[in-house]
A and B are shown apart, each in its own frame.
Chain A
Amino acid sequence: MEILTLLKSNKTLRTATIVVLILLILATLPIYTPDYTIVLLSSILMYVVLTVSWVLFSGPTGYISLAPAAFIGVGIYSTAILGDSMPFPVVVLVSGIVTIFIALLVGALTLRLKGIYFTIFTFGLLELIRHLVLFLELHLTGTRGRFVIAQDFITVYFYMLIILAVLLLVTFLINRSKYGLALRSIGQNEEAASHIGVNVTTVKIATFVISAFFMGAAGAVMATRWTYIDPGIAFNMFFSFMPVMMALFGGMAHLYGPIIGSVVFTYLEEFLLTKLPELYMMLFGAIFIVAILYLPDGLLGVIQKGWAALMRKVRKDNLGGNHANS
């Protein structure tokens, strides 16, 4: 009973309990669900990781980064190169750390660019890395693409789940700390933020790097699912668009938004890919445009509006009922 009252009064504790319960349910799923569900869930988890880590930086600051594909690609290639030279958990960790270094370099170079210029830069970065890797493979190693030591789908699933759990914890801690406030202030007015003592460069780079780490780690895990990779597969522009689309589609006002967005969008992707493969891109584009035009706050906005309207109606009905009684 005491626990229940505590849960009722403390919102953070309540949310944390729900999240932990969901994660626990997800962790036990492989025991009683068919294999294809686990494979699909792994994809969903990957996109949730990508989208949540994209929103971690781009959400509050408003810097639209098209770098995710670059970071995922770095993760994928690190795993491919490391192969089985070390245990898999270490491979994932090292891939994430390699991504951190790339992100540090990129962040230090680019985060003084504003608005569209930052976006263009991150876009160019992806292409630069891809063509560089292509060139190096052609001229140094004389290969095109590599094989990755495969992991079974259950392992992939659990690694994604662990990455997601850590990411959610980190996001929660950042948003609750003073750095969460600083990030938002940077998004609102960077100049003012610096004049009240926020070291905007450090805060931006640090968050950018943290977000990149998770993207790199997710890429490292996914690499084992594809078994064969080349620069075109690893550094695929698609992985830059998807987190942006999913975040906008879900809504960024709350952490639920990107999660809902990526779950719905991944499912939609699977559905369209299997049922209407030849119209897949077109429908995807159309849904995306409609979402941007008519869902300014994403699905989350729609849900919140619907909920508010429902609450109003319930309250009104109750009031009406009371009147009838009296």
Chain B
Amino acid sequence: MRILEGENVCKYFGGLKAVSGVDFHVDHGEILGLIGPNGAGKTTLFNIISASLANETGNIHFDGKKITGKKAHHICRSGIARTFQAVKIFGAMTALENVQVALLFGCGTKISKKQASEQAMEWLEFVGLLKDSSTLAKDLTIANQKRLEVARALATNPKILMLDEVIAGLNATETTELMALVRKIRDKGITIIMIEHVMKAIMSICDRIIVLHHGEKIAEGTPEAIASNPTVIEIYLGK
């Protein structure tokens, strides 16, 4: 079952085609990988889906409803959450407060501040940050800031979670732990789209992969198919 579907999505920056004529779909419950060299348009596509950027042409449907042209907070409330390539946490607020804001404004149901606080603790526990609940977000390690961002996104009760290079800059142990977290999220029934540069991680976790290059979709398929696709190999290994 298709949960998210985009057709002919285009975005230009001046004369540069950041995303050009991309068709894509995401199936319910899967982990979709989005890969491609730097500047391929991966984050731009995320920004379009989450309404950070407006696309020039094309439509995106979520759960059968058109979401193009909606505001960022509407997209979030309708069930699409995201994290950012460079972490965007609320530095001077505690980890608990970070998640609380998401619960109070993003989850779609009205809850009291007290309920939000209780549920926020549950989400912090889920990502393994329970003991850091009263730490200021800016004082957390990078790995924990990324976990916090994930917890904040999850707190909005999403159907789809978009992760933008969630393991970039982490060491091997931290990477393994975060990958385990991603699986745990999928097991809750949340569909995941992830942008990643680390091939090993993405090949092992994704059900399906889309490859972007210069803003265009050049390949799509299972990790095995992508790994043996001559065009993809050419781009990644150079001519």
Instruction: Give A residues with C-beta under 8 Å from B.
Output: 177-178, 181-182, 184-185, 188-189, 191-200
Contacts and interface: CB of A to CB of B under 8 A. Distances in A.
Given A195-B52, A195-B81, A200 B100 contact: no
A188 B73 contact: no
Given A188-B92, A197-B76, A197-B77, A182 B105 contact: yes
Nearest to A184: B93
Interface string B152-193: 110110000000000000000000000000000000000000
Best-surrounded residue of A181, A185, A196 (most CB of chain B within 10 A):
A196
Greatest chain A CB density within 10 A among B71, B72, B105, B113 is at: B105
B105 A191 contact: no
A274 B181 CA distance: 67
A144 B84 CA distance: 56
B93 A195 contact: no
Given A185-B93, A196-B156, A178 B88 contact: no
20 contacts: A177-B113, A181-B104, A182-B104, A184-B90, A184-B92, A184-B93, A188-B89, A188-B90, A188-B93, A189-B88, A192-B84, A192-B90, A194-B72, A195-B82, A196-B105, A196-B153, A196-B155, A196-B156, A198-B101, A199-B71
B102 interface: yes
B90 A197 contact: no
B102 A197 contact: yes
B101 A191 contact: no
B71 A196 contact: no
* Max count, chain A CB within 10 A of own CB: residue among B52, B72, B107, B155: B72
B49 to A, nearest CB: 11
A198 B88 contact: no
Interface string B127-165: 000000000000000000000000011011000000000
Interface of B: 50, 52, 71-73, 75-77, 81-82, 84, 88-93, 97-98, 100-102, 104-108, 113, 116, 152-153, 155-156
B195 to A, nearest CB: 15
A324 B113 CA distance: 49
Contacts of A182: 101, 104-105
A193 B52 CA distance: 12
B90 A191 contact: no
A32 to B, nearest CB: 43
A192 B77 contact: no
Contacts of B93: 181, 184-185, 188
Contacts of B82: 195
A196 B106 CA distance: 5
B204 to A, nearest CB: 28
Given A178-B104, A196-B106, A197-B107, A185 B90 contact: yes
A189 B89 contact: yes
A191, A192, A194 pick with most chain B CB within 10 angstroms: A192
A207 to B, nearest CB: 15
B102 A196 contact: yes
Taking each of B81, B100, B104, which has the highest tally of chain A beta carbons within 10 Å of its own beta carbon?
B104
B46 to A, nearest CB: 10
Contacts of B88: 189, 191-192
A196 B52 contact: no
Contacts of B101: 178, 181-182, 185, 193, 196, 198
Nearest to A176: B113
Contacts of B156: 196-197
Nearest to A178: B104
Nearest to B105: A197
Contacts of B97: 181, 184
Nearest to B80: A195
Nearest to A181: B101
A185 B76 CA distance: 16
B152 A196 contact: yes
Contacts of A178: 101, 104-105, 113, 116
Given A178-B104, A178-B105, A195 B90 contact: no
Contacts of A184: 90, 92-93, 97
Top 4 A-B residue pairs of the complex, sorted by shortest distance between their CB atoms? A197-B106, A188-B90, A192-B88, A197-B105
